[in-house]
């Protein structure tokens, strides 16, 4: 692929570029199983079988950014789940460099919102070793630069829609992300989740507000209090009970 060698990225990352793949997460998994190193990145112009969370399809036409990173931190599977928050912080910083005038906020657990609409998604897939620790984690990220789905569960947007004059090429957004993510990842490696949690809460969308959380088979309604020390969403239910949620889709009563 043209242009990838001209990107300035931190030395931790080893970038491989492809024109089209099924899913960059699957490409990275193949490399991981062959022993690829921590920091291997696969970026593709198009995906023919892009995946979203909960087994959904991630439509991947040329013009948006699609990539996956292989990470091998020495942590438990539960701790590795924190990396979705680390990814969101890197994404928010990277997107902000292109459109500083737009409002960027973070939606639990790992979406970035631009003017209240979804601009990017993160899909974490991990493998445990025999002692239950993380062997590797694949961090798959999609960013809507030129296109966005108009039939998504949650309203979406693109940078093009918000700011026609400064829509970056995928390579430029990838470069910005890898440079923004690197210091957050180092901070997480050094200090754990506590400072990531604080930084994430500073940009959280709807903190303190009424929200709905859609779970398989039920929708909960309550006030978004905080995220706990493991990243679970702390919800004060309308019936007065408290509930900690580890997976679900959040919707806001007002945006």
User: Residue 208: which region, alpha, beta or left (left: phi > 0; alpha: psi -120 to 50)?
Assistant: left
- Residue of the chain from 112, 122, 124, 227 that contacts ligand BTN (CB under 6 A): 122
- Residue of the chain from 90, 109, 142, 170 that contacts ligand BTN (CB under 6 A): 142
Q: Does 141 bind ligand BTN (CB under 6 A)?
A: yes
Q: How many helices (H) and strands (E) does the chain have?
A: 6, 12
Are residues 69 and 40 in contact, defined by beta-carbon separation less than 8 angstroms?
Answer: yes
- Residue of the chain from 15, 29, 58, 148 that contacts ligand BTN (CB under 6 A): 58
Q: Does 248 bind ligand BTN (CB under 6 A)?
A: no
Q: Does 140 bind ligand BTN (CB under 6 A)?
A: yes
Write the binding mask 13 to 52 for ligand BTN: x where contact by CB under 6 A, - elsewhere.
----------xxx---------------------x--xxx
CB of 130 to ligand BTN, least distance (A): 27
- What is the footprint of ligand BTN within residues 197-216 (CB under 6 A)? none
Q: Is 90 exposed, middle or buried (0-12, 13-18, 19+ CB in 10 A)?
A: buried
CB of 137 to ligand BTN, least distance (A): 13
Closest CA to 196 of 76, 98, 80: 80
In sequence order, the β-bridge partners of residue 143 are 65, 120
- Residue of the chain from 13, 66, 108, 188 that contacts ligand BTN (CB under 6 A): 66
| Stretch binding ligand BTN (CB under 6 A), from 30-38, 63-71, 73-81, 207-215 | 63-71
Other C-beta atoms closer than 10 Å to the C-beta of 184 total 23
DSSP string, 14-30: EEEEEEEES-HHHHHHH
CB of 191 to ligand BTN, least distance (A): 26
In sequence order, the β-bridge partners of residue 20 are 46
- Size of the chain, expressed as the number of residues it contains: 255
Number of residues in contact with ligand BTN under rule CB under 6 A: 19
DSSP state of 60: -
Q: Which residues bind ligand BTN (CB under 6 A)?
A: 23-25, 47, 50-53, 56, 58, 66-68, 121-123, 140-142
């Amino acid at each position: 692929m043209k242009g990838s060698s001209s990107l300035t990225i931190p030395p931790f990352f080893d970038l491989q570029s492809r024109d089209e793949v099924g899913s960059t997460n699957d490409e990275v998994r193949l490399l991981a199983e062959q022993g690829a190193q921590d920091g291997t990145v696969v970026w593709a112009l198009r995906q023919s079988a892009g995946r979203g969370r909960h087994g959904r399809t991630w439509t991947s036409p040329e013009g948006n950014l699609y990539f996956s990173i292989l990470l091998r931190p020495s942590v438990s599977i539960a701790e590795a789940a924190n990396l979705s928050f680390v990814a969101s912080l890197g994404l928010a910083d990277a997107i902000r460099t292109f459109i500083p005038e737009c409002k960027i906020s973070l939606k639990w657990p790992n979406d970035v919102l631009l003017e209240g609409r979804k601009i990017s998604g993160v899909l974490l897939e991990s493998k445990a070793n025999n002692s239950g620790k993380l062997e590797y984690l694949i961090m798959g990220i999609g960013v809507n630069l030129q296109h966005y789905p108009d039939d998504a569960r949650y309203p979406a947007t693109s940078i093009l829609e918000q700011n026609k004059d400064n829509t970056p090429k995928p390579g430029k957004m990838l470069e910005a992300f890898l440079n923004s993510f690197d210091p957050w990842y180092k901070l997480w490696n050094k200090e754990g989740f506590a400072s990531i949690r604080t930084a994430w809460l500073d940009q959280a969308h709807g903190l303190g507000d009424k929200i709905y959380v859609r779970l398989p088979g039920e929708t909960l309604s309550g006030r978004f209090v905080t995220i706990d020390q493991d990243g679970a969403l702390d919800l004060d239910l309308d019936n007065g009970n408290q509930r900690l949620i580890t997976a679900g889709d959040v919707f806001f009563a007002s945006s």
